Copies of this chain bind each other. A is one copy, B any other.
Amino acid sequence: MAQRTSTVIAARDAAFAVLSGGFRLVDLTDVLGTETILWPGAPPLEIVDAVTHDAHGYHARVFTTFEHAGTHFDAPEHFVPGGADAASFSIDDLVVPAVVIDISGKAAADPNAVVEPDDVIVFEKEHGTIPAGNAVLMLSGWARRKSSALSYIGSEGTTDLKFPGFGVEAARMLVDRGVVGLGVDTLGIDPGDKPDFPVHRTVSHPAGLWHLENLMNLEQLPATGGVIVVGVPRIAGGTGFPTRVFAFVPKQ
């Protein structure tokens, strides 16, 4: 990972040189609570008071969460036995430039739309080759659809899920570019109609990418020039974890 980390640092430093002209922060994180739409069948959140203001003079809770709830991080261990866990990523691998590929047009017509090789090619014709050390974020517009599971994941059950993601051919192209992570504004980096998770498997091993799911506010990011911060807690053995994610965005 050391070679990759030095590439990431170089890409990050180049991006911050641009940000030194002025930036704003954009929060990409949704609130996590008992109303959050989880993967169908996932264990629900449980929240129990340990001490209370009335009885003890202060308040603290015991919080039980599926590691993949809300805006969250996926570690390679999620799909690769013995893969890197949530605690093992250097902070230098978690502050990275990010490009945003907007497929919201075709996603409006097809809820299982994916980022395809042509989307990457069109993006690169306009913005140049996606540099090594970047993350790639898919903007589908799905973050506005959380009023119901039917709207956000296309189903009220555990089958017939529908939501956009990355296609496996485009994911392979991005691995070849040397990207370090993928992110989506939907429930998963694989689309709803791919229950075997081919993209999760393709990018987790051997490339060792991390992923971010259930992001929001991606429409506030530029196509290039943003830097995202992936604030995943250092959970020993974590296959993933709820995470604060935000972006530095150049001021116009």
Contacts and interface: CB of A to CB of B under 8 A. Distances in A.
Interface of A: 13, 16-17, 19-20, 22-23, 25-27, 29-35, 42-43, 46-47, 50, 53, 58-68, 70-71, 77-79, 81, 87, 90-92, 94-95, 197, 200, 229, 231-244, 246
Count of this chain's copies in the oligomeric assembly: 2
Contacts of A35: 236
Given A17-B20, A25-B91, A63-B241, A71 B234 contact: yes
A90 B27 contact: yes
Contacts of A234: 29-32, 70-71, 244
Contacts of A241: 63, 233
A81 B78 CA distance: 38
B59 A77 contact: yes
A122 to B, nearest CB: 31
12 contacts: A27-B90, A27-B91, A32-B233, A32-B236, A43-B62, A61-B237, A61-B239, A63-B235, A91-B244, A231-B233, A232-B244, A233-B241
